[in-house]
Amino acid sequence: MEKKRIATLSFNDGTPSVELPILSGTLGPDVIDIRNLAKTGMFTYDPGYLSTASCNSGITYIDGEAGHLYYRGYPIEQLAEKAGFLEVSHLLLYGDLPTQQKKEEFERKIKYRTMVHDQLMTFYKGFRRDAHPMAVMVGVVGALSAFYHDSLDINNPEHREISALRLIAKVPTIAAMCYKYNIGHPFMYPNNELGYVENFLHMMFATPCEPYHANPKLVRALERIFILHADHEQNASTSTVRLAGSSGANPFACVAAGIAALWGPAHGGANEAVLKMLDEIGDISQIPKFVARAKDRNDPFRLMGFGHRVYKNMDPRAKVMRETCYEVLTELGLQNDKMFEMAMELERIALQDEYFIERKLYPNVDFYSGIVLRALKVPLNMFTVIFAIARTIGWISQWNEMISDSERKIGRPRQLYLGQKRRDFVPISER
């Protein structure tokens, strides 16, 4: 029998040492279970969770050094090539790829729920037309909690499933409505004759006067973006969803919190930031100047779409997206477009430059997905919204896993306090 590994934490001030069990997962590095540490009255200090596993999970596995990403054990490259987004959603939510019958059933359950409550449409009017669609997403998705009281018992697995299906089905509708409201077009109802991705494009680009005929190659490219972004273990937005959910908050509120966290440029806002950066660079001749700025420690400028907290090798999603990017550009005859030429030159330089090589800063998935979305004529301010549609399944699967976990506890980190020591109140006349 394998000997149980233990780590011993000793102190140089006479504090008795503490034995900390070492836990092994099915894959990946072992983790030190520090729960015993509480006995010493001390905590660990780990801003940004660089050395902390915040939970256990059986959904997604990343090996950042090797550049591997698996959903429920399946390599992302295989899923991106062979599966559809709803098949992947089934896999993430229920743990396995569906049989043909289960797949049809699941698709039916999603289609049946694509429409939103009519009353929800009036929410949009409360926003300025020029509001960022992510601001509207946070509000409207959060507002879903006010509509579905019939399925908000988080301790009831059936309720949790219905909420998950509602979110997967309605988030694309809500997202497309954000865009339509933004440009002053009437909302387009979902067309359940269409597949999930095509339906989203229809709600975005069709009008009551004209249908939208999607190019199947472009539909597949967007489906790949959805698959590649569907889950990514305990990233900032997923951790936000889990933390919000740990208090017992309802899934719609938790996913709205996830959308808010996703919005930041260091996370889901990166694909939008990539395009803004390319706009700012303006011309291929300016690239060396911007690369020099990115390398300058005294300049806050960073190359958007490069680097990743976990991947210290090429992000496997970026590899797939890079291929898709070239396919889309060729399909649309855009290989010589100025913006795309700039992006490719930036990629070339960064992959050869010592600064980026040393720090293992590879182009990430958002570098390429931004370019693909641009080619699909998705407006810039909708890029992160697309990411949110895709990540909804990851958020809700992780939330569901957490709620089902018998070890669930409210998420309540501690702190290293560096503020004032105790002091007495001074009346205003004496300050």
Minimal distance, residue 308 CB to ligand CMC, in Å: 5
Shortest distance (Å) from residue 228 CB to ligand CMC: 10
End-to-end CA distance of the chain: 69
Position 176 contacts ligand CMC (CB under 6 A): no
Size of the site for ligand CMC (CB under 6 A): 19
CA 117 to chain centre: 26
Nearer to ligand CMC, 190 or 268 (CB): 268
Strands across the sheet containing 6-9: 6-9, 18-23, 31-32
SS (H, E, C) 283-350: CHHHHHHHHHHHHCCCCCCCCCCECCCCCCCCCHHHHHHHHHHHHHHHHCCCCCCHHHHHHHHHHHHH
Site mask for ligand CMC (CB under 6 A), range 233-252, x = bound: --x-----------------
> Do 367 and 20 form a contact (C-beta atoms < 8 A)?
no
Tell whether residue 316 is a contact of ligand CMC (CB under 6 A).
no
* Minimal distance, residue 95 CB to ligand CMC, in Å: 23
Closest CB to ligand CMC among residues 180, 391: 391
90 vs 391, which CB is nearer to ligand CMC?
A: 391
CB of 230 to ligand CMC, least distance (A): 12
Q: How many other C-beta atoms lie within 10 A of the C-beta of residue 407?
A: 7
Residue 364 binds ligand CMC, judged by CB under 6 A: yes
Q: Could you tell me which residues are beta bridge partners of residue 408?
A: none
Are the beta carbons of 270 and 364 closer than 8 angstroms?
Answer: yes
Whether the Cβ atoms of residue 175 and residue 117 lie closer than 8 Å to each other: no
Minimum CB separation of residue 328 from ligand CMC in Å reads 20
- Closest to ligand CMC by CB, 142 vs 305, is 305
Among 98, 133, 172, 307, binds ligand CMC (CB under 6 A): 307
What is the number of other CB atoms lying within 10 angstroms of the CB of residue 56? 12
Q: Which is nearer to ligand CMC, 107 or 366 (CB)?
A: 366
Nearest CA-CA partner of 179 in 388, 391, 375, 378: 378
Residue entry with tokens 């990539």: 274
Question: How far is residue 145's CA from residue 153's CA, in Å, rounded to a whole number?
Answer: 11
Residues numbered 264 to 303 that lie near ligand CMC (CB under 6 A) are 266-268, 270, 294, 302-303
Per CB under 6 A, the list member of 113, 180, 308, 391 interacting with ligand CMC is: 308
Please choose, out of 106-114, 361-369, 372-380, 390-398, the segment that lies near ligand CMC by the rule CB under 6 A. 361-369
Residue 81 C-beta: closest distance to ligand CMC, Å:
21
Looking at the Cβ atoms of 124 and 306, the one nearer to ligand CMC is 306
**How far is C-alpha 72 from the chain's CA centre?**
17
* Residue among 172, 305, 370, 394 that touches ligand CMC (CB under 6 A): 305
Nearest by Cα to 52 from 35, 73, 70, 27: 35
Identify whether the C-beta of residue 259 lies closer than 8 Å to the C-beta of residue 174: no
In the complex, what is the shortest distance from the CB of residue 387 to ligand CMC, in angstroms, rounded to a whole number?
8
Of 179-238, binders to ligand CMC (CB under 6 A) are 232, 235
Can you tell me which of 124, 196, 290, 306 binds ligand CMC, judged by CB under 6 A? 306
Contact region with ligand CMC (CB under 6 A), list: 23-31, 79-87, 200-208, 356-364: 356-364
CA distance linking residue 387 with residue 349, whole number of Å: 27
Least distance CB 100 / ligand CMC (angstroms): 33
Q: How many angstroms separate the CA atoms of 280 and 339, rounded? A: 11
**Residue placing its CB nearer to ligand CMC in the complex, 103 or 302:** 302
Q: Residue with CB nearest ligand CMC? A: 307
Judged by beta carbon, residue 2 or residue 354, the one nearer ligand CMC is 354
336: Cα within 13 Å, side-chain hemisphere: 1
269 phi and psi, to 5 degrees? -75, 0
Distance CA 255, CA 242 (A): 9
Indicate which residues carry an active-site annotation: 267, 308, 366
Q: Which residues make up the interface to ligand CMC (CB under 6 A)?
A: 232, 235, 266-268, 270, 294, 302-309, 359, 361, 364, 366
